[in-house]
Structure 1
């Protein structure tokens, strides 16, 4: 399972549209999430109205706060014209220069909606293989696991063995439908394996 993360400032307009259109157009093995650095209390009404016109109901969606876990577990990220406030996401990142629909006229919001869908369709039609094969996020997660493990097993296991074990165990979670606690689970399993005389992950 791969995850695409859409990020804008308030998660009340563009990123909500993008997530909804991605869910409409993308295959089931790639999921979408969206979030904002400063989430609003609700999706902008003008955005909900414009999306309802194309058969997508956003009225029950709630803007979400961008968390470190979301940033860490995204396999591909799209930022939506947040400029200098765009968060760091340790994976492949695209920036879409699409204006904020908040407070705009109905026709302007429709134009923004259509621009978002066009970009999402381009993503799903031309870059799904790249998303599936990209290992940038995996390598970043691996690098976060290694320092504590290397410090704990220094003199007991070589750096190569520690990396190989952590890499193999972390790879077990590539298809996890929910990424919560993946890092802590991978860390615990790697410690347990390296502590044993015969680490199964190194034998595979």
Structure 2
């Protein structure tokens, strides 16, 4: 059982940062793939957003995610609300958030991943950030899923 859900309710996960244009977008793409790999499409809801969303996903993020088989070119950063976050079982912040654990309540498991911002970084560094995000997303799914 997860922090906020009952056995009949889906598990809700949010990936958030300030701009919703880099790390949280990569996290969301990996989470969508992980959900499908584990056959959890009916059991896991994924949200993403930022506190001050950018106009578009960062170019270097689109490029390194394309190398990993994801097309993020048509994704649009969006704002996420505190009410959306409170409805989640897990919230992963990327290390740039002003979110306080108390803001979302004690029923939400908050993970601050403290990842470097990929914006303006060279592609090698963005790939390293991407690969770390992929590992962390898989580990998060391991917390509530027995499926490989």
TM-score between the two structures when normalised by the length of structure 2 = 0.81
1:1-204 to 2 correspondence within 5 Å?
1-26=10-35, 27-28=40-41, 29-82=43-96, 85-86=98-99, 88-90=103-105, 91-124=108-141, 126-129=142-145
SS in 1 for 2:61: helix
Structure in which a larger fraction of residues adopt helix: 1
Structure with the greater alpha carbon radius of gyration: 1
Poorly superposed stretches of 4+, deviation over 6 Å? none
- Specify which structure has the bigger relative contact order, considering alpha-carbon pairs within 8 angstroms and separated by 6 or more residues: 2
The alignment covers a number of residue pairs equal to 128
TM-score (norm 1): 0.59
Q: Secondary structure of the residue that 2:104 maps to in structure 1?
A: coil
Q: Distance between the aligned counterparts of 1:89 and 1:64, measured in 2?
A: 19
Q: What 5-or-longer segments of structure 2 have no aligned partner?
A: 1-9
Per-residue deviation, 1:82: 1.7
Gaps of 5+ in 1: 130-204
